[in-house]
Homo-oligomer: A and B are copies of this chain.
Amino acid sequence: MISLRNVNKNYGTFHALKDVSLEIAQGEKVVICGPSGSGKSTLIRCVNHLEPHDSGEIRLDGLEVGAARDVLKVRRTAGMVFQNFNLFPHLTVLENCILAPKLTGAVSDREARKMAEDYLARVHILDQAWKYPIQLSGGQQQRVAIARALCMKPKVMLFDEPTSALDPEMVGEVLDVMGELASEGMTMICVTHEMGFARKVADRVVFMDAGRIVEIAPPETFFAAPQSDRARAFLSQISH
């Protein structure tokens, strides 16, 4: 479903992704973790071509990421939740969610609205549907961002720390939603440090450091017996 081969990405002179290769099958759920600045956000931004990669090959659902003619298809295949939400401030919560379905003409206005209300209800925020993003607390904004991405009915979801602004209760609920999506067969890449979630849902954990993938392992193996020193050091902090 998703395949990265020797992907490199530079910001000016800073080498943010170094020879990253990763294969993700249809329906697979992958958690990416690693220290701050290790390139996790950059990686998933490259997958839906928000950042062009400098070399290597990325394929998504058979499409070549980076090929000009497929760029819209790529992005409609992959829904994304940003680390800092990026809601549209001039639109209400509901409008944020129905904008894409309406414009891409996939569904009727009526259906788009119904679907948006469903997803907003699922993340417990339907009662705020008429508010503007600036009126919402951090956690509320994050949930709207998740609903907005789901409304595109993507085949793949890219989550960039989707629970960072949430309280534990809401984390639980959002992870439940993600679990459901997972069980419905959605392919997912999720940058998160919620080890609980990783353990429960992830098929594999990808550990990154300094722009490189250091280790890929099933969660049980990764948490119990990390192979690399770097991952061991990282994990030793979690019980902190």
Contact = CB atoms under 8 A, between A and B. Distances in A.
Contact of A168 (B136, B137, B165, B238): B238
Interface stretch (A72-80, A92-100, A170-178): A170-178
A140 B37 contact: yes
A240 B139 contact: no
B170 A35 contact: yes
B166 A36 contact: yes
Contact of A171 (B34, B41, B170, B240): B240
A223 B104 CA distance: 48
Interface string A191-212: 0010110000000000000000
A97 B31 CA distance: 34
Interface in A6-33: 11, 33
B167 A164 contact: no
A15 to B, nearest CB: 14
A28 to B, nearest CB: 23
A88 interface: no
Given A196-B240, A240-B172, A240-B175, A138 B167 contact: no
B135 A11 contact: yes
17 contacts: A33-B168, A35-B170, A36-B137, A36-B143, A36-B165, A36-B166, A36-B167, A36-B169, A36-B170, A83-B165, A138-B161, A168-B193, A168-B234, A171-B193, A171-B237, A173-B237, A196-B240
